[in-house]
Chains A and B, each alone.
Chain A
Amino acid sequence: MKLVICAGPPTTGKTTVLKQVTKRLINAGFNVSYVKIDVQYADEDKIFEKEFGIPAKKVYSGELCPDHCNVMVLGDAVQWAKTNRSDILLVETAGLCLRCSPYIEGSLGLVVLEATSGMNLPRKIGPMLTLADVAVVTKIDLISQAEREVFRARVMDSAADISVCETNALYGIGIDTVVKKIYSSEEIVYPLILRGNPPVGTCTVCVGKKEIGWRQHFGVVRPLEGDIFYQGE
């Protein structure tokens, strides 16, 4: 089975891209399953079930950062897709803390960025971009060619080896290139290993401790002035 992990800031067009991709994969005779991991609201499972009649699931990460949640649930999701006899599992996930990344060794990592997001975005999202295999740039219909080129250059500045695919996802223009990348990606092998290094330590904020001030937390903390240090057992 092939595993495609698709990440990107909210409303950049992940679902729109994956719908176009799914349409093409199904037409080519593949069996596809879909999982969405989101913080507190998602309706994509219904959309994929209704539009394509494929097995679809959603997971709310709730108190956990979606990328951490991804690490917890993805093993089961792969098993689920296997029992569906799927050839390809598509996972859509909303990155959150921008320090983690959801990509897994031996899977295809897609990051979806919108061309309208401003020239500095590629510099701000860290491993979500730098550890991906393919950057899918959506909404190119809304900007000029000159800006497309500059945005592309900014993406390559942050992630030199990445492939950039530019699309108008509404009309499916440029999606065939993304689909080719999926065809040529590897089959997954166990053990499934996270591609990037997770951020240092265990974050008590991520698990729901709300009180402000480093004195209230344990693990790796930092005051305003000074470096991070370890507090606790």
Chain B
Amino acid sequence: MRINELKIFGGVGKDGQTEKVYEFTLKMGDVISIVGPTGSGKTTLIDDIALFADNNTPTKRRVLVNGFSAPEEFMNDPSKNPIAFITQHTNFLSDLPVEEFLGIHAKIRCSGKDLSVISETVEFANQLTGEPIDPKNAMTELSGGQTRALLIADAVIIGNSPIILLDEIENAGIDRTKALELLRRYEKIFIFVTHDPRIALLSDFRIVMRNGAMIKTVYAHDEELAVAEKIKELDDLILHLRQLIRDGERVDGVVLEERLLSFV
């Protein structure tokens, strides 16, 4: 089934009051963020989306795909499900080597395609994480960051999922600059749950959560996009600093000060 749009109808917040955001629509190519304090219901909102909620979850939200309730096969057969959900906590439990696992998944998903898709997936993942994945490693040996990176790469390349949900990837040691740049090249719907200003500012719009409810949508405007460029540089500086420390180098105070001054 070809996905054209996803429509989400609001339900009720934790206090049982109707949500202020009554509905929003996502088209292919849209990148959005869900923001708000811890416990405000961000994960619950993308859970609802991942389940194609149809007035059957505590929030009473509804999700329509191309204008209709999702067909049952989306939930019954994961390879027919257009949504890939990279959760906050998922770890791999399978002790198969990475390449064997990806090979089986590739066979299920794109029967006929040649096996270069495995190395393509590992390379994609390795651009997102500081610690490269060895395809011979067992899945269970991967670190949190490697796991998240491989899940994203698998969803994009092998799963070819049209809709990808990502819950707080910034905490998993993923290179966000790289991730956004890479992901924007694909014509998909991306929904980020995030506390990261960089991801939020580079999204098409963001949904603000309070007390279990969607309280408003904020669209990116030109001023914000201009700031986003600065934030990117600041972010890159922090990443550079992190890399220096990781590599056991000393940080040159004068150089750092100069670069910091350029931001004020």
Q: Which residues of A contact B (CB under 8 A)?
A: 116, 118-119, 142-150, 152-153, 164-166, 173-174, 177
Residue B176 at the A interface, CB < 8 A?
A: no
What are 10 A-to-B residue pairs whose CB atoms are below 8 Å? A118-B95, A147-B92, A148-B78, A149-B79, A150-B104, A150-B105, A164-B77, A173-B51, A174-B76, A177-B72
Pair A153/B108 contact, Cβ less than 8 Å: yes
Pair B151/A146 contact, Cβ less than 8 Å: yes
Q: Which 8 pairs of residues, A with B, have the shortest CB-CB distance?
A: A144-B90, A148-B78, A149-B78, A146-B154, A150-B104, A153-B108, A119-B94, A149-B79
Pair B93/A116 contact, Cβ less than 8 Å: yes
Supposing A119-B96, A144-B90, A150-B94 touch, asked if A177 and B76 sit within 8 A by C-beta, the answer is yes
Bound Cα distance A153, B234 (Å): 46
Pair B105/A144 contact, Cβ less than 8 Å: no
Bound Cα distance A177, B72 (Å): 9
Min distance, Cβ B70 to any Cβ of chain A, angstroms: 13
Supposing A116-B93, A118-B95 touch, asked if A146 and B105 sit within 8 A by C-beta, the answer is yes
Bound Cα distance A150, B97 (Å): 13
Pair B94/A145 contact, Cβ less than 8 Å: no
Supposing A150-B101, A150-B105, A177-B72 touch, asked if A143 and B151 sit within 8 A by C-beta, the answer is no
Contacts of A164 in B (CB 8 A): 76-77
Bound Cα distance A142, B159 (Å): 19
Residue B85 at the A interface, CB < 8 A?
A: yes
Min distance, Cβ A115 to any Cβ of chain B, angstroms: 8
Chain B, residue nearest A147 (CB): B94
Pair B95/A146 contact, Cβ less than 8 Å: no
Chain B, residue nearest A168 (CB): B51
Supposing A118-B94, A152-B78, A173-B51 touch, asked if A145 and B101 sit within 8 A by C-beta, the answer is no
Pair A142/B93 contact, Cβ less than 8 Å: yes
Bound Cα distance A142, B92 (Å): 9
Min distance, Cβ B156 to any Cβ of chain A, angstroms: 12
Chain A, residue nearest B50 (CB): A145
Residue B155 at the A interface, CB < 8 A?
A: yes
Chain B, residue nearest A165 (CB): B76
Count, chain B residues at interface, CB 8 A: 29
Min distance, Cβ A151 to any Cβ of chain B, angstroms: 8
Pair A144/B104 contact, Cβ less than 8 Å: no
Supposing A165-B76, A166-B76, A166-B78 touch, asked if A149 and B94 sit within 8 A by C-beta, the answer is no
Bound Cα distance A151, B164 (Å): 21
Chain B, residue nearest A151 (CB): B94
Interface hub of A142, A144, A153 (most chain B Cβ within 10 A): A144
Chain A, residue nearest B87 (CB): A144
Bound Cα distance A146, B77 (Å): 12
Pair A145/B93 contact, Cβ less than 8 Å: no
Contacts of B76 in A (CB 8 A): 164-166, 174, 177
Supposing A119-B94, A144-B151, A145-B85 touch, asked if A150 and B75 sit within 8 A by C-beta, the answer is no
Contacts of B108 in A (CB 8 A): 149-150, 153
Residue B84 at the A interface, CB < 8 A?
A: yes
Min distance, Cβ A150 to any Cβ of chain B, angstroms: 5
Pair A145/B95 contact, Cβ less than 8 Å: no
Interface hub of A146, A152, A153, A174 (most chain B Cβ within 10 A): A146
Residue B59 at the A interface, CB < 8 A?
A: no
Residue B146 at the A interface, CB < 8 A?
A: no
Chain B, residue nearest A144 (CB): B90
Chain B, residue nearest A141 (CB): B87
Given contacts A146-B151, A149-B109, 11 further A-B contacts (CB under 8 A): A119-B96, A146-B154, A146-B155, A147-B92, A149-B108, A150-B104, A152-B79, A153-B104, A164-B77, A165-B76, A166-B76
